[in-house]
């Protein structure tokens, strides 16, 4: 009797396919004449690029979002941003809950891998909290934005506020305010602070959210310091985020202090505000309160580093993630000190986690190098502008030095591929390592010393 061959998709393949299908569906809707502000269909390559940058929550655009798309087109973009920020699988599972459909064991396993959790226990409850928390934060952000946009734009300010809040929380960086992002609001503390908070809250990760809530609830009963009661993951994510934000703010403030094209003409408090916002937005948000092409070379290089690192795992931000970089640095310190164990906050890091961190960074470097080489070949643009573009795409940031609108068809296709791989590549790689268990080999190859470094 012949065995039946099953061609089932792995979790990694399902996640990658879900983003790809959503991107194609979005591009089809955006290619319709009804999506265009003029009533004439936008070229499909631009519709595809916009769908890709939306579902990958990147923010690079070849046509202005505010003027190229109709209300319907902007609604499609907003829907793609929300789906991309939460994840296609998360949204589908949320719809199943909304329609009172039972979530089976296969769906629970898929959700476990999507959220990178270690147990199936409470997975549906965790999903409900993620969806509820997302909509509460986005709603609060929209209400706060209305205090600025409604007086300025009237009733349209409600739609602008909602779009801006969702885009900021999902770290997408797209807006329907103007063609110069938030440069017109560089002096406005309300927009800067609200946007920055939405970016940080969305980028720090859902696991950290509920861990902080758990500690605060048990704070009085346990009589512990808040930070001590957190899990190791939350301690690393919060510490790394705080250090990067503070160091980035100080560095941008010093490097751009006298630059008349960025913050040189601002008052001291405004300079600090703009420096802080630049430090926040490079963590894969993509909003710009100062023109990125006017940054000094030193600030641009610093921005490249912050963009590559990105936010924290299981959140809306991109990049290789704060926890990944922290684990790699801790591993390097252990190697220098000739220690076998990698430890942080008096806890040992599993070797498997170190291996995952190396794999994620290596894959990201491979995607980044390939896209940079190809984009430089087809555009001939300035090297720093090309590198800024590809890092922004791979880390799903959305900041540009003015190159995106000038891309030719090949350049657009390269950036689309970089955004897609940057959004699903490192994540899928981590999940693949998590679910793939190799058989233990009883026979091992002989060990031989090599020279490293």
- Tell me what pLDDT residue 179 has: 86
Positive or negative: CA dihedral 125, 131, 134, 136? negative
Q: Would 451 be classed as within a structural domain?
A: no
**DSSP letters along 132-157, please?**
HHHHHHHHHHHHHHHHHHHHHHTTHH
Q: Is the pLDDT of residue 120 over 90?
A: no
Name the band, by pLDDT with cuts 50, 70 and 90, for residue 436: very low
Q: Would 447 be classed as within a structural domain?
A: no
- Tell me what pLDDT residue 380 has: 87
Tens digits of per-residue pLDDT, 388-417?
Answer: 999 999 999 999 999 999 999 999 999 999
With a pLDDT cut of 90, the percent of the chain lying above it is 56
Higher pLDDT, 307 or 119: 307
| Residues 6+ positions from 317 with CB-CB distance below 8 Å | 171, 199, 202, 203, 283, 284, 285, 310, 311, 396
Cα–Cα distance between 431 and 333 in angstroms, integer? 26
> In the structure, how many helices (H) and strands (E) does the chain have?
17, 2
C-alpha 88: how far from chain center: 15
Q: Would 163 be classed as within a structural domain?
A: yes
Q: Is the pLDDT of residue 431 over 60?
A: no
Contact 323, 312 (CB under 8 A): yes
Angle at which helices 156-169 and 189-204 pack, to 10 degrees? 40
- Tell me what pLDDT residue 50 has: 96
Tens digits of per-residue pLDDT, 58-73?
Answer: 989 999 999 999 999 9
Point out which residues pair with 347 in neighbouring strands: 344
Contact 453, 85 (CB under 8 A): no
- Tell me what pLDDT residue 1 has: 43
- Tell me what pLDDT residue 248 has: 96
The enclosing H or E element of 201 equals helix 189-204
- Tell me what pLDDT residue 283 has: 84
Average pLDDT, the chain: 86
- Tell me what pLDDT residue 355 has: 87
Residues 358-387 have a mean pLDDT of 92
Tens digits of per-residue pLDDT, 263-282?
Answer: 999 999 999 999 999 999 99
C-alpha 319: how far from chain center: 6
Tens digits of per-residue pLDDT, 100-113?
Answer: 667 666 666 666 66
Point out which residues pair with 36 in neighbouring strands: 69
Ramachandran class of 39: left when φ > 0, alpha when ψ lies in -120 to 50, beta otherwise: left
Which residue range is the domain that position 185 belongs to?
Answer: 11-434
Rg of the chain over Cα atoms, rounded to whole angstroms, equals 22
Ramachandran class of 351: left when φ > 0, alpha when ψ lies in -120 to 50, beta otherwise: alpha
Residues 169-196 have a mean pLDDT of 92
Q: Would 3 be classed as within a structural domain?
A: no
Residues 180-208 have a mean pLDDT of 92
Q: Would 2 be classed as within a structural domain?
A: no
Strands 342-344 and 347-349 turn out to be antiparallel
- Tell me what pLDDT residue 2 has: 46
Q: How many CA atoms lie within 13 A of 72 on its CB side?
A: 13
Residues 129-137 have a mean pLDDT of 88
- Tell me what pLDDT residue 211 has: 84
Q: How many domains does one find in the chain?
A: 1
Residues 120-133 have a mean pLDDT of 78
Q: Would 265 be classed as within a structural domain?
A: yes
Tens digits of per-residue pLDDT, 42-97?
Answer: 999 999 999 999 999 998 999 999 999 999 999 999 999 998 888 766 766 666 66
What DSSP character marks residue 159? H
Positive or negative: CA dihedral 366, 368, 372, 374? positive
Cα–Cα distance between 183 and 384 in angstroms, integer? 22
Q: How many other C-beta atoms are found inside a 10 Å radius of the C-beta of residue 106?
A: 10
Q: Would 363 be classed as within a structural domain?
A: yes
- Tell me what pLDDT residue 221 has: 66
Q: Would 6 be classed as within a structural domain?
A: no
């Amino acid at each position: 009797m012949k065995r039946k061959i099953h061609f089932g998709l792995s979790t990694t393949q399902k996640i990658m396919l879900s983003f790809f299908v959503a991107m194609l569906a979005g591009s089809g809707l955006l290619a319709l004449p009804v999506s265009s502000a003029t009533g004439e269909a936008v070229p499909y390559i631009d519709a595809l690029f916009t769908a890709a940058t939306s579902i990958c929550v990147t923010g690079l655009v070849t046509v202005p979002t505010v003027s190229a798309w109709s209300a319907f087109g902007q609604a499609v973009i907003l829907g793609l941003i929300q789906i991309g920020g939460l994840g296609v699988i998360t949204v589908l599972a949320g719809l199943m809950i909304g329609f009172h459909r039972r979530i089976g064991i296969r769906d629970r396993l898929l959700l476990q891998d999507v959220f990178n959790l270690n147990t199936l226990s409470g997975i549906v409850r965790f999903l409900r909290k993620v969806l509820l928390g997302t909509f509460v934060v986005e709603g609060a952000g929209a209400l706060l934005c209305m205090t600025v946009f409604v007086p300025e734009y009237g009733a349209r300010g409600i739609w602008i506020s909602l779009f801006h809040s969702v885009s900021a929380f999902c770290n997408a960086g797209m807006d329907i305010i103007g063609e110069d992002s938030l440069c017109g609001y560089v002096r406005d503390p309300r927009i800067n602070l609200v946007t920055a908070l939405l970016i940080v809250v969305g980028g720090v990760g859902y696991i950290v959210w509920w861990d902080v809530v758990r500690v605060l609830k048990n704070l009085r009963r346990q009589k512990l310091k808040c930070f001590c009661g957190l899990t190791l993951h939350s301690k690393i994510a919060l510490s790394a985020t705080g250090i990067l934000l503070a160091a980035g703010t100080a560095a941008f403030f010093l490097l751009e202090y006298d630059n008349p094209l960025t913050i040189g003409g601002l008052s001291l408090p405004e300079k600090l505000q703009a420096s802080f916002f630049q430090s926040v937005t490079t963590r894969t948000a993509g909003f710009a309160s100062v023109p990125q092409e006017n940054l000094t070379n030193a600030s641009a290089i610093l921005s490249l580093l912050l963009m590559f690192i990105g936010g924290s795992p299981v959140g809306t931000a991109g990049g290789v993630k704060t926890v990944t970089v922290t684990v790699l640095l801790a591993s390097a310190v252990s190697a220098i000190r000739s220690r076998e164990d990698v430890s942080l906050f008096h806890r040992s890091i599993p070797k498997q986690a170190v291996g995952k961190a190396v794999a994620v960074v290596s894959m990201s470097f491979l995607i980044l190098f390939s896209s940079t080489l190809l984009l430089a070949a087809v555009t001939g643009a300035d090297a720093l502008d090309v590198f800024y573009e590809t890092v922004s795409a791979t880390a799903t940031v959305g900041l540009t030095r003015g190159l995106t609108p000038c891309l030719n068809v090949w350049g657009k296709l390269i950036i689309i591929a970089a955004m897609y791989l940057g959004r699903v590549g490192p994540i899928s790689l981590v999940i693949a390592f998590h679910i793939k268990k190799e058989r233990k080999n009883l026979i091992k190859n002989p060990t031989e010393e090599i020279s490293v470094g």
